[in-house]
Structure 1
């Protein structure tokens, strides 16, 4: 038989440190569990074992501790974030049918050694998986080692047999014990021989074979006098170290490989546990997909009650759905996003609608529950219709409940909320829709309970769901671009890029690949001899931060920064945009509603929210976004919305008064922070006060502020201190919100949007600090995101109600853009200002600046 024997503690430990901390929304840590199961899955695929034994240490002294009380002394205890994952992992492994092996008085290494020895004696093969090189001493006679590590979240496995050990160490596997006896092991506090390092230990064992042979012939040994002296002094220590370093192969455990054949376990329980810990990607990978995430009894009942897709008279079906509480509807689209059919459930039956699919969604008398309403809105709007009675969008509800989740597909949600997955019978074209429609009643019910519990009903029904219709409109309309202008701008950039490239080659003295970090590092730090700031595994770091620090050191560096900026501008915003322009001359971005943790909308393919504005050349790109002939762009931008939100939620009287007085908030802040009258505030003072104002919103510290405004860290810390003394309400808010977040486990906006912060309970100071920064800034950023969403809904609705042709086409952070006929521009501008400023009632009035122009550049 082929036995796979895993060192559970070692693999779990390396998984923990090899993957960033992952948590569930309730704050349970999962990164080590994820890493361990990923490694186990890879080993199963690579090794294809007949049996698997997973060894764990016990929390009790071993025979080594009894022999030497300094054994492993000084080793740091297991971090609480890792310790908390140990028992959940064991529970999952047992549910998957694996046998776990523990033995009091012995370590996991000894269990592996005993199983390896038994395999040798029984003629079996044994594959040991561990992150600990100590196990290499066991290799030989059918025993190999897979040395495992987790790097950047991915498992890495190195195969070791006798030949590989000889190649790497120049000795036999058993002689590795001898080397360790001489060199010792700081991680286990094995002393070794004082003054003998790995190189000398390896050379001695290669020459003399063993510790015993060395000390037997020590008097005549042909070694340097200094080495001999060290060996003489360390004789007893070497013998002790050899005893401590040798793996025991006679632990009192079951040694028959057949005892470790993986059993049936409880796959449903395993799937439920993985769902509990939100490890949904592993459910599929570990072959547990389809195992119900609900209680076993409910799951069995669900399977017994298989739903058959019914094709009845469609008008009768619609009438029946009108009489019910809701239609749980799943659309069927063609490749172009057109609605071709729909499957609807009344909670007990499944109905197929073809000719009446559109009527299902547009009938105001049918409350519709769906999953992801935006594509439905898009399909309907192509036909001049809309969804008239959307009761619930399950995907958006799930996003509000868990904004940190990696996805919101229905199978994942069923697992997360322990909803039984009903069996369905339907032909292939409609099978997926039938399954979705059958799942919606249970799923929407479970989510609705949590939404009510969190008091997020209004956030869902008044903001997120109406917004999905607005986004559908915006995606369909798109933004007109000047293709010829972009092409000419791209050509201009290419000429400048070519010139910069030639200049850099001339300054360095030879040609090389400017886009190769390795070649660039050699040119800057070897050829030019510039001071290296950071080193990576592949060479010198040439990151933007490093180059900016070196910009004054050599003219080639600034030219390189300029080269990178222009190359990015051309490839992303010229070449990239031209690839996605439609036949109508417009680009249609995808606006994502469930991507960010703060509630902000994101834009992809292309990302129109990321058109550069920080440099004059970048801003030029906005000249190529324009209104269609006879129309103009109306651009409305919130003024300092996040600072206004901060003033409101912090109840800071000084800041509120500054906004109410209509004076410039940055000038007021500069006056207070620098202790001078407002009329004596210089542009530099105002600029630094502005950096502090906005930095506070993002939880900036003295180090980052100092870097941003080019002052000393002490100066920056004084600015922040003076700021918080001036705005004492803000200071109190900063303390209050963190304290409340630690109690609740989350923060929320004034509209009820939440973000869970398990980082606040971390033992890692950096993670805790991150959690505290997020606790302070998320209620501000999240509320600003909520306000802009409300404004989008109000603007869109008002334009429609007043029967204008003008339409909302883009949102970029705090900015809305409407495309309007020239004769509607003034009215559209008024609507934008009124609806945006009226989107939220706070202690500080919202302020909006509105401009018009033929291009985005002119209108902003």
Structure 2
């Protein structure tokens, strides 16, 4: 038999400080809960125990505090963000069937010690899971310690203690009595460190043995004097250091078996906490509320569906259920293996449809019209920080009760029975928050646009791409041989550990602190060494070439479809600011900053007889900033068509436009764009290679020049702190619980996000509006052209060659008209056979 006893407070602290602060949409802190449960599940998977106990400290003083007033006197109190999570975690653990052990007057360590003793006495193995090495003293032939920062192979045994410290586990109590413990404020003998304490206990066996042999010649005079002076303190320290193993806890080990107590409560709680991972892990489903007998819903066969729907005066609801779609109208249901079974109803604009994931439906349906609501998009708008928008989990998050009874063996019965009220609840919340227009006029039509773009894809010249890969292979081999020659031996350049040895030991370059995993060789470290040795540039080139080859050349060739085109997946519910992202592959991340990387764009081509139109907003985020801030000087610069970076340099550096140097303009540009992202002096100093005070003076000079921007930033942060969120011009919200944090670093992060999110989010909204306008205009005028890609502020259209100029003008016009700002929206449009040329 094997049991696990977990040091709850220790693991909770490590989880809290090891994971960035996470919150739900309503500002509830969750990072400690999330981290604790992940560690808990990992321990259980590793150990497969027959039972688990979880010990927690209580806030009341323990016998050690009564014995010594200074015990743990240097410990800081629990942060508010952590304290708020503790009772929630405890209730979750109890509902999951774990036994929690807390005893007033004792610490969690004492409970661990007692639990270990019970296991030892009953012949069972016990693993103590903690982050505190104090528990090492409890190790026996049946009791082991698992440190939370280690993997499953690092269970600490008696032999591990002997090999590392040269003493028995129980002797560590006497070692601590001599050396003390600063974390617990155990004084120990002044001047005696770990090395001396281990030597004394190793030689004389115990604290008593040390004092019995105080006159022994093996004890140096200086050490002897220290021992004599602090004898009473040493024995007090031993008393404080020894873990008590006689706490009154249930001795029956079978009572610590883990069995879930309340699945429904856990489902709804994890839903509210937005922890869908644990819902899936535990296989939780919501308990269906009893429904009245007259609400039982018939499940119709396929043949009756179309006729019934055409006669019904009800919206059609469509939601994915396992590998099928559920069609719901009124109190009737049908499961469709193929959603096209619904036939002409899907294309009937007069039949309103409320769905989950309209983009997926546009892919599945031959024709789809009349979509009036998308549950997934609504959930995203209401909570843009959620990790997923699974409809089953949304039922719990929004506390939805089913409105009809369904056969228990019907797949997804709870979801089907609750999907109509879920849509109603989300629609109501959108109305309350003023976001319904954002849904109806931007996100919902955009889903159809994105689906069409995914279907179209982007043609790639595979032969040229493969040839480019061969060029990269040759460069990789060449630079690799050069690196090996300089270092004097072959090694794995991709291994940070081996590279660190080569640079800092073989070549003797200056380095930072060495850790257990070796020297740091990240890009910042390498960039700082470029002037120290020419091989560093070769290493940076090696990494760049390898990245281009593996991620882009090989990666792109793997995903070319049978039609010779790459069909990316546009994510509409991924980012917190509202931007569209791209995956499988990420077409928004094709390199452009290096000459070699930008070569990749030459391989994205128009199909035969067509060409590409590339249209890009000019400085859209700065234009949005000028409008939202109402800054007169910035508005004037954009309205007059002046170069904003030169203008900024002129204002900040106090000189005429003609005297602004390229370097001044570069620095002003960094400040302009940095302000949008809430940049600080330190980051700006690194970006433009100046001192922090100089960078700080640039930022202050900028804000003194553009008073409107300064006032806007201040006002935005103040309002966000008051109401908990910021908004774009179109009503998109980003919730910022970080602003309420007592941690100054986290609060500062919240302020930066408050400054930049309205700007980035509004720019994202504008490009989405532009996409819908371009898509609709091309269709309305029946032009042989298709929108095929969006990359942040850039749109790419594939158009028949003879109408390319007409399409370019149309795209620019629709993009410029996407928003009515106090400054003009300027669009640069170019035409070319491949993306590189079209980009201009």
Give the TM-score normalised by structure 2.
0.94
State how far apart, in whole Å, the 2-side matches of 1:332 and 1:281 are.
Answer: 18
Aligned to 1:338: none
State how far apart, in whole Å, the 1-side matches of 2:291 and 2:163 are.
Answer: 60
Note if 1:276 corresponds to 2:272: yes
State how far apart, in whole Å, the 2-side matches of 1:135 and 1:569 are.
Answer: 49
- Report how far residue 3 of structure 1 moved: 5.0
- Report how far residue 350 of structure 1 moved: 0.8
- Report how far residue 262 of structure 1 moved: 4.8
State how far apart, in whole Å, the 2-side matches of 1:454 and 1:167 are.
Answer: 63
- Report how far residue 810 of structure 1 moved: 0.8
Q: Say which of 331, 349, 353 aligns to 1:368.
A: 353
Q: Say which of 125, 142, 158 aligns to 1:162.
A: 158
Does the 8 Å CA contact 1:347/1:441 hold for their aligned counterparts?
A: no
Provide Cα deviations, 1:150-178, integer angstroms capped at 9, x if missing partner. 57xxx768434434433433333322211
- Report how far residue 359 of structure 1 moved: 2.4
SS in structure 2 of the partner of residue 792 of structure 1? helix
Note if 1:582 corresponds to 2:564: no
Q: Say which of 308, 313, 318 aligns to 1:329.
A: 318
Is 787-796 or 627-636 further displaced after alignment? 627-636
Aligned to 1:337: none
- Report how far residue 455 of structure 1 moved: 1.1
- Report how far residue 695 of structure 1 moved: 1.0
State how far apart, in whole Å, the 2-side matches of 1:583 and 1:288 are.
Answer: 38
Does the 8 Å CA contact 1:321/1:346 hold for their aligned counterparts?
A: no
Aligned to 2:300: 310
- Report how far residue 821 of structure 1 moved: 1.0
State how far apart, in whole Å, the 2-side matches of 1:4 and 1:828 are.
Answer: 68
Q: Say which of 379, 383, 403 aligns to 1:398.
A: 379
Q: Say which of 689, 710, 714 aligns to 1:710.
A: 689
Does the 8 Å CA contact 2:276/2:388 hold for their aligned counterparts?
A: no
Provide Cα deviations, 1:450-493, integer angstroms capped at 9, x if missing partner. 21122110111111111111111111111122222222222223
Does the 8 Å CA contact 1:370/1:393 hold for their aligned counterparts?
A: yes
State how far apart, in whole Å, the 1-side matches of 2:746 and 2:707 are.
Answer: 26
State how far apart, in whole Å, the 1-side matches of 2:371 and 2:294 are.
Answer: 31
Does the 8 Å CA contact 2:298/2:331 hold for their aligned counterparts?
A: no
SS in structure 2 of the partner of residue 518 of structure 1? helix
Structure 1 residues 654 and 535: alpha-carbon distance in aligned structure 2, compared to 1, 3 A threshold: farther
Does the 8 Å CA contact 1:602/1:609 hold for their aligned counterparts?
A: yes
SS in structure 1 of the partner of residue 215 of structure 2? helix
5+ residue gaps, structure 2, are none
Provide Cα deviations, 1:218-275, integer angstroms capped at 9, x if missing partner. 2346322222222212211111011111122333444444555556633322332222
Note if 1:70 corresponds to 2:82: no
Query: In the TM superposition, what are the counterparts of 1:356-755 in structure 2 within 5 Å?
Result: 356-380=341-365, 383=366, 385=367, 387-420=368-401, 424-425=406-407, 431=411, 437-533=416-512, 535-755=514-734
Does the 8 Å CA contact 1:377/1:469 hold for their aligned counterparts?
A: yes
Aligned to 1:239: 235
Is 435-444 or 803-812 further displaced after alignment? 435-444
Is 170-179 or 799-808 further displaced after alignment? 170-179
SS in structure 2 of the partner of residue 219 of structure 1? coil
Does the 8 Å CA contact 2:309/2:345 hold for their aligned counterparts?
A: no
State how far apart, in whole Å, the 2-side matches of 1:56 and 1:791 are.
Answer: 56
Does the 8 Å CA contact 1:367/1:391 hold for their aligned counterparts?
A: yes
- Root mean square deviation of aligned Cα: 2.6
SS in structure 1 of the partner of residue 289 of structure 2? helix
State how far apart, in whole Å, the 1-side matches of 2:163 and 2:785 are.
Answer: 74
5+ residue gaps, structure 1, are 293-297, 335-340
Is 353-362 or 28-37 further displaced after alignment? 353-362
Is 506-515 or 362-371 further displaced after alignment? 506-515
Q: Say which of 801, 821, 828 aligns to 1:849.
A: 828
- Report how far residue 443 of structure 1 moved: 1.9
Structure 1 residues 506 and 147: alpha-carbon distance in aligned structure 2, compared to 1, 3 A threshold: closer
State how far apart, in whole Å, the 1-side matches of 2:257 and 2:121 are.
Answer: 19
State how far apart, in whole Å, the 1-side matches of 2:292 and 2:48 are.
Answer: 34
State how far apart, in whole Å, the 1-side matches of 2:408 and 2:335 are.
Answer: 10
Provide Cα deviations, 1:402-438, integer angstroms capped at 9, x if missing partner. 111111122222222222467754989xx35x76544
Aligned to 2:244: 248
Is 390-399 or 510-519 further displaced after alignment? 510-519
Structure 1 residues 463 and 689: alpha-carbon distance in aligned structure 2, compared to 1, 3 A threshold: same
- Report how far residue 307 of structure 1 moved: 5.1
- Report how far residue 642 of structure 1 moved: 0.3
Structure 1 residues 97 and 500: alpha-carbon distance in aligned structure 2, compared to 1, 3 A threshold: closer
Does the 8 Å CA contact 1:149/1:156 hold for their aligned counterparts?
A: no
Structure 1 residues 562 and 217: alpha-carbon distance in aligned structure 2, compared to 1, 3 A threshold: closer
Does the 8 Å CA contact 2:618/2:827 hold for their aligned counterparts?
A: yes
Provide Cα deviations, 1:475-528, integer angstroms capped at 9, x if missing partner. 111112222222222222333333222332333333322222222222221222
- Report how far residue 51 of structure 1 moved: 4.4
Provide Cα deviations, 1:94-152, integer angstroms capped at 9, x if missing partner. 2233333322222222233334444555666554333222223233374x13323157x
Does the 8 Å CA contact 2:264/2:284 hold for their aligned counterparts?
A: no
Aligned to 1:295: none
Provide Cα deviations, 1:17-52, integer angstroms capped at 9, x if missing partner. 222222212222112112222333334444454544
Structure 1 residues 378 and 275: alpha-carbon distance in aligned structure 2, compared to 1, 3 A threshold: closer
Q: Say which of 177, 190, 212 aligns to 1:194.
A: 190
Structure 1 residues 516 and 190: alpha-carbon distance in aligned structure 2, compared to 1, 3 A threshold: same
State how far apart, in whole Å, the 2-side matches of 1:204 and 1:314 are.
Answer: 89
Aligned to 1:289: 284
SS in structure 1 of the partner of residue 147 of structure 2? strand
SS in structure 1 of the partner of residue 169 of structure 2? coil
Does the 8 Å CA contact 2:274/2:387 hold for their aligned counterparts?
A: no
Does the 8 Å CA contact 2:141/2:158 hold for their aligned counterparts?
A: no
State how far apart, in whole Å, the 2-side matches of 1:551 and 1:42 are.
Answer: 42
Does the 8 Å CA contact 1:145/1:160 hold for their aligned counterparts?
A: yes
Structure 1 residues 34 and 330: alpha-carbon distance in aligned structure 2, compared to 1, 3 A threshold: closer
Aligned to 2:221: 225
- Report how far residue 766 of structure 1 moved: 2.0
Structure 1 residues 379 and 55: alpha-carbon distance in aligned structure 2, compared to 1, 3 A threshold: closer
State how far apart, in whole Å, the 2-side matches of 1:400 and 1:859 are.
Answer: 34
SS in structure 2 of the partner of residue 356 of structure 1? helix
Provide Cα deviations, 1:182-226, integer angstroms capped at 9, x if missing partner. 111111111111122112212222221111122123234632222
Aligned to 2:806: 827
Structure 1 residues 305 and 141: alpha-carbon distance in aligned structure 2, compared to 1, 3 A threshold: farther
SS in structure 1 of the partner of residue 187 of structure 2? coil
Aligned to 2:140: 140
- Report how far residue 836 of structure 1 moved: 0.4
Does the 8 Å CA contact 1:632/1:855 hold for their aligned counterparts?
A: yes
Give the TM-score normalised by structure 1.
0.92
Structure 1 residues 127 and 541: alpha-carbon distance in aligned structure 2, compared to 1, 3 A threshold: closer
Note if 1:107 corresponds to 2:98: no
- Report how far residue 325 of structure 1 moved: 3.0
State how far apart, in whole Å, the 1-side matches of 2:824 and 2:71 are.
Answer: 67
Number of matched pairs: 836
Note if 1:783 corresponds to 2:762: yes
Does the 8 Å CA contact 1:648/1:656 hold for their aligned counterparts?
A: yes
Provide Cα deviations, 1:575-623, integer angstroms capped at 9, x if missing partner. 2222222233221111111111111111122222111111222222222
SS in structure 2 of the partner of residue 310 of structure 1? coil
Is 414-423 or 500-509 further displaced after alignment? 414-423
SS in structure 2 of the partner of residue 603 of structure 1? strand
Aligned to 1:212: 208
SS in structure 2 of the partner of residue 511 of structure 1? coil
State how far apart, in whole Å, the 1-side matches of 2:86 and 2:618 are.
Answer: 50
